[in-house]
Chains A and B, each alone.
Chain A
Amino acid sequence: MNTPRWNIGIIGGGPGGLFTAHRLEQLCSTPLNISIFESSNRLGGKLLTEQFSANGLQYEAGAAEFYDYSLIDEDPLRELIEHFGLQTQSMGGTAVVQEKRVLGTIEGLHDSLGEASLREFIRFNDRAKTEVSPRQFYDSTSTSHINAGHTSRQEERFSTSLHYLSHKTKNYIQQHIHSDLAAEPSQTSHRYGLDNYLMNDPAYMQLYSITGGNDLLIHALACRLSANIRLNTKITTVRKNAQNTLELSWETKNGCQSEDFDAVVMALPIEPLKKIVFPDRKLETAMRNHIMHHDHPADYLRITILFEKPFWKSWLHDSYCMLDAFDGCCLYDESSRIPEARHGVLGWLLGGTAAKKMAKHSDEELTSAAINSLPFQNDKARKLFRQAKIHRWLGAVSAQPGGFQQRSLDTKHCPDTDTYPHLLVVGDYLFDSTLNGVLDSAEYAAGWITTMAADHELGQK
C-alpha cells in the first residue's frame, strides 16, 4: 500500500525555512513533499555575502559571524557546518576605541578611564560572570529548560542594571555591546544585556565565520534539499480548509494561486509575518497575540567600504573592534577574512537607534559619516576610497527575543495548538536572535511535524 506523502509548506527561504526543511528531510520517515516559498529572488535571509563590483572582493552584508558554543556543550550549528565540509576561521576582537584611543587591555582602560572607573568595570564584569555561568549562558540559548511556569514576572530592563555605574563606565560598557544588542539598554532585558556583554568572553562563546563566505551555508543547505523552492513567491494568505488542511495563497501575474498543505511552517521575521492575512478569526487572534508578544524590533545598518589597501593594520589588529562613533558600533576588518587580498575592506555595523536614524540618510552621506568616524587616518581613508555598499536591516532582529515573558516552547512555535496544531512558527526572535537560535527553533518545529506525520501514518494503518 503506498503511503501518501505529506505536503509541507514553508514560508520563508531564510535560514529558518531552510533549516526546517533540512531537518524534516532527515527526521521524517513519512514521505514528504516540501515547498519553500520565498518572496525575494534569493535564499538566505539575513545570511548574505556580497561582492564589490570593482574587484569582486567579498564581504558579509548580513550576519558577519557565527557563535561557537562548542566549548561548553553541543553546538548543532557548528556540527552542521562541519558536516557540510565547510572550512571555518576564528574571529576575535578585544579593542574598544574611545576618544581616538585604542583600549585593548585593562591596562589601557586604566590609563583611559582611571582607577575608580576601572574598578567599577571589573566589579560589573565579576558580577555578570557570577550571575551567569558559561553553562547558564549556554542554556539560555537552548530549548531544553524554558517553560512558562519559571518566568512569572517580567524581567527588569538592562538600563536599570547600568544605572548605578558612573558615566564613564556605563559609556564604555554600552559602546562595547551596542552593536551586539542592536537596541538601547532600556529596550532590552537585564539578562539579555548581560548575555550580550558576556559573549565577548571567550570562556562563554567564540566567534567564527565560514571561509569563502557565510552564505556558503545556504548554498550547502539548498543543494541538499529535495524541496520545491519557489522564489519570488510572496504568500499573502493562510487559512484552514474543510479538509483540515492549510491553504496558502499567493499572487501571480495570472492572478491568485493557492495550494493545500498538511502542515505549514512560517519561518519569517516579525515584520513580514505581520503582512500575512489570516482570514480565520481564531487564527488571526492567535497570530496577533504571537506577534504582539514578540514584536520588539531592533535595527541594523551595515556600511561596507572598499579601499585601495588596508591602511588600518597599525591600530586594528583583529577581525573587528568597537568604535565609540554612532553610540557604539562594530568596525569589521572584512579583508582579514581573505588574507591574500591586496585591497582593504572595512565594515561598520550600526545598531539600535543610531541605525534607525542613520538609515534615513543617503548612501553617500552614510559613507562620508563612516569615514569620518575612523579614529585615525581619515584623510588617508578618503584618498584610498574605492567603493561603498549600504545594507539596511531595519526590524530584522528582535531586541528582546522570546519576549519579556518567556513562553513554553509549544506556545512559542504553535500560536494555536488546539485548532491549528499544524501551523508552526520558526524564528531567531523566539530564542536569542542568532542563527543558533533559529536552528534550535527549526529543530523543534521539524520534530513536531515529524511526530504529527508519524501519528497520522499510524492512524491510517
Chain B
Amino acid sequence: MSTNTPHGSEENMSERDADVARNTAHGKHVAEVRFPSISETQVIEFLKISTEEPSESYLNECLDWIKASQSYDRPIILELYGTLVIWTPTQMALVTAPRHFKKAEHAVLDFTTTAFELGAIEQALPSAWEHYENDIPNGFSFYNPDRESAAALAHRYKQAMSLAGRLSRLSPHIHLAPEHPPTLAGQLGERLRDRSRLVDREEFASEQIDTIIRLYETAGQRVSEHGLAQREYVLIWMIVFLLAAEIILLLVDLLSTAGN
C-alpha cells in the first residue's frame, strides 16, 4: 500500500499538549517532532486534528495557529479529498478523519523528513563552493605541491562525495513513483513534494554537487599524477647522483694516477 514510510530517521516525538482540553472528543493536540539524524536543532511543531467534521472548517484555525508564531510567510496549503495539510519548515498542521489519520500523518512526516534532509544538503552546499574558484587551477595542474594543499583538496572531495551520497540516498524518496490505485498517503506525499519543488531542488543540488565533484576528481588525479611525477623525479635524481658518483670516482682515480 503506502510506500511513504519514514526512512531511517529517528523521530523523538516529545508530546506537548498545547490545547488538549479544547477538543478532546475528536483528538487535537500539538506535538514536537525532532529529527536528530539531520540536526540537533531541527524541530517542527505538529498540530494534529483528527475529526469527522469537514477539514475546511479548520482551515482558519490552523492558519491562525501558524501565523501566531510568525515563523513563515507562505505555508503550503493542501486540501485534498477531505484532508487538510498546512506545512511550513517550522510548523505543520494535519486535519483528517480518524480512520485516515495514521496514514496521512505518516505521509506528512515522511515528506517532512525528506524536505529537511534536502534542506540540510542545500545548506551544506555553500561551504562546498567556498574554495571552488581558488581550486580551479588545481584541476588543470597541481600548483601547490605541499601536503596541506593535497590534504585540503582531499577533504573537500570527501565533503562533496558525502553530499552526493546523501543526495542519492534521498533521491528515491523524492522520485517516488506515483501509486496506482492512488492512496491518500501517496497523494499527500506526491502533492507536497510537488508544491515544495523537491524534484527541481534535488536536480539543482545534484548539478551543483556534480560540478564540484568533477573539479575535485580532476584535482585528485592531478595530485596523484603529481605524486607519481615527484617519485619519478626523485628516482631520476638518485640515478643522476649515482652516475655523478661514478664519474667522480673515475675522475679521482684518473687524477691520482696522473699525479703519480
Contact = CB atoms under 8 A, between A and B. Distances in A.
Interface of A: 92, 94-95, 102-109, 121-122, 125, 200-203, 314, 317
B178 interface: yes
Nearest to A121: B181
A202 B180 contact: yes
**Top 8 A-B residue pairs of the complex, sorted by shortest distance between their CB atoms:** A201-B180, A202-B178, A94-B182, A105-B184, A104-B81, A107-B184, A106-B181, A105-B182
Contact of B187 (A94, A200, A203, A314): A94
A203 B100 CA distance: 25
Interface residues of B, dominant DSSP? mixed
Nearest to A200: B180
B177 A104 contact: no
A122 B179 CA distance: 13
Given A94-B187, A107-B183, A102 B81 contact: yes
Interface of B: 56, 79-82, 99-100, 103, 177-178, 180-184, 186-187, 191
A202 B180 CA distance: 7
B177 A203 contact: yes
Contacts of A122: 181
B79 A105 contact: no
Given A94-B187, A202-B177, A203-B177, A106 B80 contact: no
A355 to B, nearest CB: 26
Given A102-B81, A105-B184, A121-B181, 9 more contacts: A104-B81, A105-B81, A105-B181, A105-B187, A107-B81, A107-B103, A202-B180, A203-B178, A317-B191
B185 to A, nearest CB: 8
Interface residues of A, dominant DSSP? loop
A349 B183 CA distance: 26
B80 A104 contact: yes
Contacts of B180: 125, 200-203
A322 B170 CA distance: 34
Contacts of B184: 105, 107-108
A18 to B, nearest CB: 33
A106 B186 CA distance: 10
Contacts of A102: 81
Nearest to A108: B81
B177 A317 contact: no
A78 B177 CA distance: 20
5 contacts: A104-B80, A105-B81, A106-B183, A125-B181, A200-B180
Contacts of A125: 180-181
Contacts of A105: 81, 181-184, 186-187
A342 to B, nearest CB: 21
A233 B18 CA distance: 76
A200 B99 CA distance: 27
A106 B56 CA distance: 21
Contacts of A314: 56, 79
Contacts of B191: 317
B82 to A, nearest CB: 8
A94 B184 CA distance: 11
Nearest to B100: A107
A106 B181 CA distance: 7
Nearest to B104: A107
A104 B182 contact: yes
A111 to B, nearest CB: 9
A125 B1 CA distance: 13
Given A125-B181, A200-B180, A202-B180, A104 B187 contact: yes
Given A94-B187, A202-B177, A106 B182 contact: yes
Contacts of B186: 105
A151 B13 CA distance: 60
Most chain A beta carbons < 10 A, residue from B81, B99, B177, B187 = B81
Contact of A109 (B99, B103, B181): B181
A327 B35 CA distance: 50
A121 B181 CA distance: 10
Contacts of B178: 92, 202-203
B102 to A, nearest CB: 12
Contacts of B181: 105-106, 109, 121-122, 125
Contacts of A95: 81
Contacts of B82: 108
A201 B177 CA distance: 10
Contacts of A121: 181
A173 to B, nearest CB: 11
Contacts of B81: 95, 102-105, 107-108
Contacts of B182: 94, 104-106
A106 B99 CA distance: 13
